[in-house]
Amino acid sequence: MKRIRLSRPHPAFLHPQQQPSSLLQPTPLAACIAARHRRHASSVSQRPDSKHVMFPGAVKSAFSSAMRFEQPSSYPALPTYRVVDQSGAVVDTSFAPDLSDEEVVKLYRDMLTVSIMDVIMFDAQRQGRLSFYMVSAGEEAVSVGTASALAKDDVIFSQYREQGVFKQRGFTLNDFMNQLFANQKDPGKGRNMPVHYGSRELNIHTISSPLATQLPQAAGAAYALKIQRLQDPSIPPRVVAAYFGEGAASEGDFHAALNIAATRSCPVIFICRNNGYAISTPTLEQYRGDGIASRGLGYGIETIRVDGNDFWAVREVTKKARELALQDGGKPVLIEAMTYRVSHHSTSDDSFAYRARVEVEDWKRRDNPIARLRKWMEAKGCWDEHKEKEARDSIRRDVLRAFSEAEKQKKPPIRTMFEDVYEELTPDLKKQMKELRSQLERYPDEYDLSEFDGGKDSLDR
Amino acid sequence: MRSSTIRPLSSALARASRAPPSATPALLSRRRQYSTHPPNAKLNLPTDYSTTALLAHESKSALGNPELPPEVRNGTTKRMNLFQAINDALSIALAEDESVMVFGEDVAFGGVFRCTSKLAETYGGDRVFNTPLTEQGIVGFAIGAAAEGMRPVAEIQFADYVYPAFDQLVNEAAKFRYRDGACGRSAGGLTVRMPCGGVGHGALYHSQSPESLFTHIPGLRVIMPRSPLQAKGLLLSAIRSNDPCVFMEPKILYRAAVEQVPTAAYTLPLSKAEVLKEGSDVTIVSYGQPMYKCLAALEKAERDLGISVELIDLRTIYPWDKESVFQSVRKTGRCIVVHEAMVNAGVGAEVAAAIQEDHETFIRLEAPVARVAGWSIHTPLLYEAFNAPDVARIYDHIKRVLEY
């Protein structure tokens, strides 16, 4: 008996023109609505001799008389797109840089700045100058490269290892330092742990510690942008970009977010930094499928896997993803950027407790996103040893200057602890503020108020 | 059972639920598979919503509400049950502000309790829509939309199913403004609606009242109306409020509570309790459906004992109106707090603690503050009548605080 071979070549291996028209291709909104009506149970009928199941839950599924369980292993791993190889040579012949030499240099300097600031601040934490820090060594290209392909008005939700996104968007060294030292110039008003940056002007939502909570929020924000543009077509089209690690993708919120973004056709780009570790947990203990990218298809989301150490690849991919996200009235896109977490998870972690030093050294030597872009720039003739040294020296000086300025600043007024819980201070909070003030009055030696702007008087309101 | 038997039985049940209590045939109560009222009860009678003084049965009494603005008081009213009043408020909110969106599980066809009837047809599928079945997704999505300037009204199908969204509510919605600081963004546009409370046969997962969990979260406003008129005004306040609001709707009142509701748009104040009845001997503080039980109990107690009872509806459970409660208790010297949710660490604990903590109120106390609430158990199917505070238990506590 002849068997019908049901498995099609994997979409990833098909040229765009050959793409099968499948349910994985999000349809325009109108068609979605039509499809929903089509899929209404009462209108789905099963014609005799039909080759396809007409169950409302899977309308394009062909019948098969051969029982075969699909095996993840029978599908090749999704490929990893790259533009520039480890030696800085261009491997995608269709690639043409869309940035001037000055623009590339600027983005390279952003990556360098994050990496130099990381080293200094990590040491500063070790000296007890700040309570906590997280570096993003090895992931500078993902953050700077993706951010560089977004528009200024695009809204960003991040996890915590995206310093490069802030830097690329215009966060200054002073902005970083004010937050890290929780001084009175910190827009977070000294309420959040270090590295929990946020910016209104740059359209980046304030970072919160709970993992993956930002993902369904990003879907909702993207839906808001979409609706606002429907209501006022003069608003330029915008997308939301949401960053997260491969560990966070195990949270239920990841599932909720991708599913709701797909069903509501939200213009959101989900950007996963797959760096191989969630603190001490390697990916083998995080998932058993083909990374995060393979999941996107299951949600009906266009997906790509990219070499996260290749600045040009992440930039190109994000640029295209943004275009896709705005098509057909909006739809989600998933990018999985493959990298390696060169550093410890945070200042509270010693990663040599769970991975070999030699593995890390290997990665550093073999493939570093900053070195890779540098090789490309040197080959192009817009960078050299001298410029590198000059850049590193001046960035280091600037970081140290911003550091000492921020460290010297006063802390916000103590009153700040009671504000912004609600839009207005509630009677309860006013009463508690008074009570704290009287406590500070009666036990002056028990509290150090010297650093706080206005001392205890800020509580008089 | 043959369907020919089922049909007459269910229509008889439907008739019985509409009929006045005395007309309930004993035969039916034997056939019913869940809690019902005992035939010889004098206190634990079914609430007669058609006569209770808590509902405005006449247009005049609805419009006489002093909290309503003058232009509303000169307007018209319409008979609405609770779900219709919710629907009316949502409709007004959608009409007056294009940043309002209504979504959740099954809201597009009108909702499993009909609260969102006709809204999708009227305001379009872009603003009134179904979401996938994911509570954490619904609330996370709503927070993101609120943070980008929309006013989402998210529905959780039953309060019992809000827990998957607890992280989003506690760690995200409630803390959004605080952590954003000078950036100035918040999830203030967010309102999360959820049906709550006992319904006679809801058992473990269709009966819960988790309000006290939300009162332990700085940054959230927790609201529970007692009637259609209240629901409309408080829901519009919640939607217009710039703080994230948890709006809990006693599901047993959806169809049962019917009153005249002003047709115009109006709001009622948040964080303001309402003294529904003045009295001098005991203060009863409650909210939501037990208000009806409290009223029945105090009417009986006043007749039997020749006393007068003050009845207060908290309405907003957090941040709550301490001052109104303190003033009342300073006058009466006795206080009973009544709620359906279990007694331990419930709203009654907070109210009682605050009363005894307030110097001027503490010295006026003539008796310990009493809590009449659910036992510290889950809500079991068969035993609801023994668990939820009923007229008899409230009546008994009125006697007890007086006898102390």
Report the residue of chain A nearest B171, measured CA to CA: A210
Structure token digits, residue B246: 């948890």
In DSSP terms, B192 is beta-bridged to B154, B246
Has residue A36 got a pLDDT over 70? Answer: no
CB-CB under 8 Å, A257 with B140: yes
B166 to chain A, any CB pair closer than 8 A? The answer is no
- Compute the distance between CA of residue A270 and CA of residue B245 in angstroms, rounded to an integer: 29
pLDDT single digits (tens) B41-54? 999 999 999 999 99
Report the residue of chain A nearest B124, measured CA to CA: A227
CB-CB under 8 Å, A191 with B172: no
Q: What is the mean pLDDT of chain B?
A: 93
**Cβ(A369)–Cβ(A140) under 8 Å?**
yes
The pLDDT assigned to A364 comes to 84
**Cβ(B351)–Cβ(B252) under 8 Å?**
no
Q: What are phi and psi for residue A99, nearest 5 degrees?
A: -125, 150
Burial bucket for residue A319 (CB in 10 Å: 0-12, 13-18, 19+): middle
The pLDDT assigned to B196 comes to 98
pLDDT single digits (tens) A315-330? 999 999 999 999 999 9
Q: Name the residue among B171, B177, B221 with its Cβ closest to that of A208.
A: B171
Has residue B283 got a pLDDT over 70? Answer: yes
B-chain CB neighbours of A263 within 8 Å are 131-132
- Compute the distance between CA of residue B115 and CA of residue A201 in angstroms, rounded to an integer: 39
Place of tokens 């208000």: B291
Q: Please identify every residue of B annotated as catalytic.
A: 135, 206
At the topology level of CATH, where does B274-403 sit? Rossmann fold (3.40.50)
- Overall average pLDDT of the A446-459 stretch: 95
- Overall average pLDDT of the B290-315 stretch: 98
Report the residue of chain A nearest B179, measured CA to CA: A188
pLDDT-based confidence at A28, cuts 50/70/90? Answer: very low
Has residue B24 got a pLDDT over 50? Answer: no
Has residue A46 got a pLDDT over 70? Answer: no
B-chain CB neighbours of A200 within 8 Å are 182-185
Residue A461 Cα to chain centre, angstroms: 41
Structure token digits, residue A345: 């998870």
pLDDT-based confidence at A24, cuts 50/70/90? Answer: very low
pLDDT single digits (tens) B162-219? 999 999 999 999 999 999 999 999 999 999 999 999 999 999 999 999 999 999 999 9
Report the residue of chain A nearest B97, measured CA to CA: A231
Number of A–B residue contacts, CB under 8 Å? 161
pLDDT-based confidence at A138, cuts 50/70/90? Answer: very high
Has residue A4 got a pLDDT over 80? Answer: no
Class of A101-408 in CATH = alpha beta
User: Which of A282-291, A341-350, B315-324 bottoms out in mean pLDDT, i.e. has the lowest?
Assistant: A341-350
The pLDDT assigned to B160 comes to 98
Show me where the domains of chain A are located: 101-408, 414-459
- Overall average pLDDT of the B397-404 stretch: 98
B59-262 and B274-403 in the same fold = yes
- Overall average pLDDT of the A119-145 stretch: 96
C-alpha count within 13 angstroms, C-beta hemisphere, residue A99: 19
**Cβ(A166)–Cβ(A199) under 8 Å?**
yes
The pLDDT assigned to A412 comes to 97
Has residue A337 got a pLDDT over 60? Answer: yes
Residues 66-125 of B with CB under 8 A from A: 98, 101, 125
**From the CB of residue A397, how many other CB atoms can be counted at a distance below 10 Å?**
10
Has residue B365 got a pLDDT over 90? Answer: yes
The pLDDT assigned to B198 comes to 96
The pLDDT assigned to A370 comes to 97
**Cβ(A387)–Cβ(A101) under 8 Å?**
no
CB-CB under 8 Å, B178 with A421: yes
B191 to chain A, any CB pair closer than 8 A? The answer is no
CB-CB under 8 Å, A200 with B167: no
- In angstroms, the separation between the Cα of residue A200 and the nearest Cα of chain B is 5
Q: What are phi and psi for residue B94, nearest 5 degrees?
A: -65, -35
Has residue B31 got a pLDDT over 70? Answer: no
Has residue B25 got a pLDDT over 70? Answer: no
Q: What is the mean pLDDT of chain A?
A: 90
Residues 325-384 of B with CB under 8 A from A: none
The pLDDT assigned to B8 comes to 41
Q: Name the residue among B150, B168, B178 with its Cβ closest to that of A224.
A: B150
In A154-199, DSSP assigns E strands to: 155-157
**Cβ(A418)–Cβ(A433) under 8 Å?**
yes
Residue A321's alpha-carbon distances to A236, A241, A395, B300, in angstroms, are 17, 10, 32, 69
- In angstroms, the separation between the Cα of residue A306 and the nearest Cα of chain B is 27
Q: Name the residue among B142, B171, B188 with its Cβ closest to that of A220.
A: B142
Length of chain A equals 461
- Compute the distance between CA of residue B79 and CA of residue A120 in angstroms, rounded to an integer: 69
CB-CB under 8 Å, A189 with B182: yes
- Overall average pLDDT of the A63-76 stretch: 94
Has residue A379 got a pLDDT over 50? Answer: yes
Structure token digits, residue A362: 């290997």
Of the residues A217, A226, A430, the best mutation for testing chain B's interface (the one with the most B CB atoms within 10 Å of its CB) is A217
pLDDT-based confidence at A49, cuts 50/70/90? Answer: confident
Of the residues A260, A423, A431, A433, the best mutation for testing chain B's interface (the one with the most B CB atoms within 10 Å of its CB) is A260
Report the residue of chain B nearest A192, measured CA to CA: B179
CB-CB under 8 Å, A227 with B141: no
Report the residue of chain B nearest A193, measured CA to CA: B179
pLDDT single digits (tens) A286-315? 999 999 999 999 999 999 999 999 999 999
**Cβ(A405)–Cβ(A431) under 8 Å?**
no
Interior angle at CA B34, CA B30 and CA B39, nearest 5: 45
At the topology level of CATH, where does B59-262 sit? Rossmann fold (3.40.50)
The pLDDT assigned to B333 comes to 98
- Compute the distance between CA of residue A70 and CA of residue A266 in angstroms, rounded to an integer: 30
State the pTM of this model.
Answer: 0.91
Q: Name the residue among B149, B164, B179 with its Cβ closest to that of A206.
A: B179
The pLDDT assigned to B219 comes to 98
Has residue A277 got a pLDDT over 60? Answer: yes
- In angstroms, the separation between the Cα of residue A389 and the nearest Cα of chain B is 37
Show me where the domains of chain B are located: 59-262, 274-403
Has residue B29 got a pLDDT over 80? Answer: no
CB-CB under 8 Å, B185 with A205: yes
Has residue A13 got a pLDDT over 60? Answer: no
As a whole number of angstroms, the longest Cα–Cα distance in chain B is 67
